[in-house]
């Protein structure tokens, strides 16, 4: 076994042992502990847990790679997945905390005094969470298979068992404290290689500054200028300029921001703190913890891209370093000597280009490309697993509470005892893990595509209903329900038409449909349009129907004032 593998086994085993230990220590004894960790989580712990919950396998493994191939356009993810926290902190978290219930459908159902509204919200929450969780389980499997050389399916099963253990046993309480540990693991694993490489390339230990610094070779050239030069030389777009249209960048950023603010597994985290002011503060801390990774990722993207071009472009295939062949066997990087000269041509033109690179390699293989020590390489696996498991657990909790609390307790069987509900929650969590694992092992081809669209769905359904519920006292159930239904259906229609080509003969037709995009907006950005439509429909229907009852308007008045949140949770 190589050094790298030994380190990987040791670090992964240590981190898993830690998670299991925390799970045993923090078992949930009541539904309140299971759903919202008893409502007594400190802002700092909640901030870290939210950050881990939020940063998924995609943030950890894929994002820097996506940026490194997208250049400026990568900003849609950077701004989109952080800017949503401003909306969350200013427009949602404090009020939902004051409202003080367990789930997002709880809020929708009570604010709009309607079981239909609650069921619609449960449906939206399940669609969003299931699409998202399948991707996480797949991520767990991939990390296992690449680093520990176990089969992907075995990897998924190991991941399932771990999540099952602490989600079913500890509910939100177990999840919260494991997420705190997972945040520490993942941020350490992400930062250490980034700092190493930043010092190597620019002599600056802070990656955020390093990628705007001059190269350490003494030439005085700025790193970004060098990358721009290399990119154009090889026929790619200039790194610091984009190739998407401005309107599409705008729409995607907005859809991701609003979607972030509307994701139930993120919102529910703010139910776990004690006071309204803690909800505000923990949103700020969460974004701070997220920003550490999100401001480093674009630096990693630049380092990795420059390193890759310099290592491979125009070089002899036979002289490639060891990592090249190691990652070739995983299929993440491939070379086809088209002109038979024994060198690697890496250029934009597809007929001449001889190198195909999976974007995930930019984070996974980055430490090896930069020739870092074995323990740093081993960290990446532990970090990737922490990111995937923490997000999966948060999503599973939303799924289980939507079923046990919103469907079973509030709609189907209101007479259910507290103990019965806790069992229902545990069983639905277990069933959800198994379903998620099934999708992880047999991923429907569209998982990756759908994860990005989960944001569009959240933006199109929840966000307007919650905002109107707080800021528009006279909003009634008819308006909110029609808004959610129209928004969701419109988003689903656009996704099926332009992402899957369902109405035009399937996946092959998708590329040809680009010219028909409405307003030139891609399916990823369409959530912002569907959101606006949701708002318009909701307000229009509201004007022609009756005002909500007085007591509901009183609830709205009440959630706007922070004092008394302690009482709200138990009523």
Partner 1 sequence: MDTDLRKKYWNENLKYLSILLAIWFLVSYGFGILLVDELNTIRIGGFKLGFWFAQQGSIYVFVILIFVYVRLMNKLDKKYGFNED
Residues near partner 1, by CB under 8 A: 67, 72, 74-75, 78-79, 82-83, 85-86, 89-91, 94, 208, 211-214, 222-225, 240-241, 246, 249-250, 253-254, 275-277, 280-281, 283-284, 287-288, 291, 294-295, 298, 557, 560-566
- Provide the sign of the torsion angle of the four alpha carbons 161, 272, 187, 224, taken in this order: positive
Contact 359, 69 (CB under 8 A): yes
b or e along 415-431 (b: 16 or more beta carbons within 10 Å of the residue's beta carbon)? ebeeeebbebbbebbbe
Smallest distance, partner 1 to C-beta of residue 221, A: 9
Smallest distance, partner 1 to C-beta of residue 346, A: 23
Determine the Cα–Cα distance for residues 131 and 547; give it in Å rounded to an integer: 36
Burial label for 217, CB within 10 Å (0-12, 13-18, 19+), is: exposed
Looking only at the bridges linking them, the beta strands covering 355-357 and 333-335 are antiparallel
* Cα angle, residue 485 at apex, residues 482 and 488 outer, rounded to 5°: 140
Closer residue to partner 1 in complex, CB, 32/275: 275
Determine the Cα–Cα distance for residues 37 and 30; give it in Å rounded to an integer: 9
Smallest distance, partner 1 to C-beta of residue 445, A: 31
What is the number of other CB atoms lying within 10 angstroms of the CB of residue 435? 16
Smallest distance, partner 1 to C-beta of residue 415, A: 34
Smallest distance, partner 1 to C-beta of residue 388, A: 23
Closer residue to partner 1 in complex, CB, 70/192: 70
Smallest distance, partner 1 to C-beta of residue 72, A: 6
Cβ-Cβ contacts under 8 Å for 29 (sequence gap 6 or more): none
Smallest distance, partner 1 to C-beta of residue 240, A: 5
Closer residue to partner 1 in complex, CB, 225/371: 225
Closer residue to partner 1 in complex, CB, 97/497: 97
Q: 10 in helix, strand or coil?
A: helix
Smallest distance, partner 1 to C-beta of residue 491, A: 21
Smallest distance, partner 1 to C-beta of residue 213, A: 6
Contact 311, 369 (CB under 8 A): yes
Closer residue to partner 1 in complex, CB, 52/89: 89
Smallest distance, partner 1 to C-beta of residue 103, A: 23
Closer residue to partner 1 in complex, CB, 508/567: 567
Closer residue to partner 1 in complex, CB, 181/249: 249
DSSP-assigned letter for residue 316: B
Determine the Cα–Cα distance for residues 124 and 527; give it in Å rounded to an integer: 14
* Cα angle, residue 252 at apex, residues 250 and 258 outer, rounded to 5°: 100
Burial label for 278, CB within 10 Å (0-12, 13-18, 19+), is: buried
Determine the Cα–Cα distance for residues 504 and 516; give it in Å rounded to an integer: 12
Smallest distance, partner 1 to C-beta of residue 377, A: 26
401: left (phi over 0), alpha (psi -120 to 50) or beta: alpha
Closer residue to partner 1 in complex, CB, 54/500: 54
Closer residue to partner 1 in complex, CB, 5/295: 295
Closer residue to partner 1 in complex, CB, 77/500: 77
Determine the Cα–Cα distance for residues 258 and 250; give it in Å rounded to an integer: 12
Cβ-Cβ contacts under 8 Å for 48 (sequence gap 6 or more): 179, 180, 183, 184, 285, 286, 289
Burial label for 14, CB within 10 Å (0-12, 13-18, 19+), is: exposed
Determine the Cα–Cα distance for residues 167 and 179; give it in Å rounded to an integer: 11
Closer residue to partner 1 in complex, CB, 75/430: 75
Determine the Cα–Cα distance for residues 383 and 375; give it in Å rounded to an integer: 12
Closer residue to partner 1 in complex, CB, 57/227: 227
Number of helices and strands in the chain (H, E): 25, 2
Smallest distance, partner 1 to C-beta of residue 136, A: 24
């Amino acid at each position: 076994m190589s050094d790298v593998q030994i380190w990987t086994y040791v670090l992964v085993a240590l981190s898993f042992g830690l998670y299991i230990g925390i799970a045993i220590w923090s078992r949930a004894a009541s539904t309140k502990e299971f759903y919202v960790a008893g409502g007594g989580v400190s802002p700092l712990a909640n901030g870290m847990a939210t950050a881990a919950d939020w940063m998924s396998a995609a943030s950890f493994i894929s994002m820097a790679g996506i940026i490194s191939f997208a250049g400026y356009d990568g900003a849609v993810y950077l701004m989109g997945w952080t800017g949503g926290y401003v909306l969350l902190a200013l427009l949602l978290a404090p009020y939902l905390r004051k409202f003080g219930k367990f789930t997002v459908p709880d809020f929708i159902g009570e604010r709009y005094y309607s079981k239909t509204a609650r069921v619609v919200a449960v449906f939206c929450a399940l669609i969003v969470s299931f699409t998202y969780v399948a991707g996480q389980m797949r991520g767990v499997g991939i990390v296992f298979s690449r680093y520990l050389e176990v089969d992907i399916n075995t990897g998924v099963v190991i991941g399932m068992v771990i999540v099952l253990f602490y989600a079913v046993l500890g509910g939100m309480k177990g999840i919260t404290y494991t997420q705190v540990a997972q945040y520490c693991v993942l941020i350490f694993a992400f930062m250490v290689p980034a700092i190493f490489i930043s010092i190597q390339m620019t002599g600056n230990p802070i990656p955020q500054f390093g990628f705007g610094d001059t190269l350490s070779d003494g030439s005085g050239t700025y790193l970004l200028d060098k990358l721009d030069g290399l990119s154009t030389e090889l026929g790619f777009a200039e790194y610091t300029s984009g190739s998407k249209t401005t309107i599409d960048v705008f729409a995607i950023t907005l859809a991701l921001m609003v979607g972030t603010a509307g994701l139930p597994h993120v919102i529910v985290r703010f139910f776990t703190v004690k006071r309204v002011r803690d909800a505000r503060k923990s949103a700020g801390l969460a974004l701070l913890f997220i920003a550490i990774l999100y401001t480093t990722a674009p630096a990693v993207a630049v380092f990795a891209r420059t390193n890759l071009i310099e290592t491979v472009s125009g070089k002899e295939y036979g002289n490639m370093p060891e990592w090249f062949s190691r990652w070739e066997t995983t299929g993440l990087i491939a070379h086809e000597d088209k002109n038979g000269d024994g060198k690697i041509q890496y250029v934009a033109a597809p007929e001449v280009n001889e190198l195909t690179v999976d974007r995930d390699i930019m984070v996974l293989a980055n430490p090896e490309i930069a020739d870092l020590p074995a323990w740093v390489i081993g960290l990446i696996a532990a970090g990737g697993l922490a990111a995937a498991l923490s997000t999966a657990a948060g999503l599973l909790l939303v799924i289980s509470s939507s079923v046990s609390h919103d469907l079973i307790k509030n709609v189907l069987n209101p007479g259910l005892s507290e103990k019965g509900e806790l069992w229902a929650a545990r069983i639905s969590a277990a069933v959800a893990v198994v379903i998620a694992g099934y999708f992880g092992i047999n991923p429907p081809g569209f998982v990756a595509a759908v994860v990005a669209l989960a944001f569009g769905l959240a933006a199109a359904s929840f966000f307007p209903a919650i905002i109107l519920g707080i800021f528009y006292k006279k909003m009634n159930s008819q308006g909110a329900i029609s808004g959610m239904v129209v928004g969701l259906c419109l988003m689903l229609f656009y996704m099926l038409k332009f992402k899957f080509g369902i109405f035009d003969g399937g996946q092959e037709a998708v590329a040809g449909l680009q010219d028909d995009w409405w307003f030139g907006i891609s399916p990823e950005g369409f959530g912002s349009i569907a959101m606006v439509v949701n708002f318009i429909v909701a307000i229009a229907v509201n004007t022609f129907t009756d005002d909500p009852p007085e007591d509901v308007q009183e609830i709205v008045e009440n959630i706007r004032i922070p004092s008394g949140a302690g009482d709200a949770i138990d009523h």
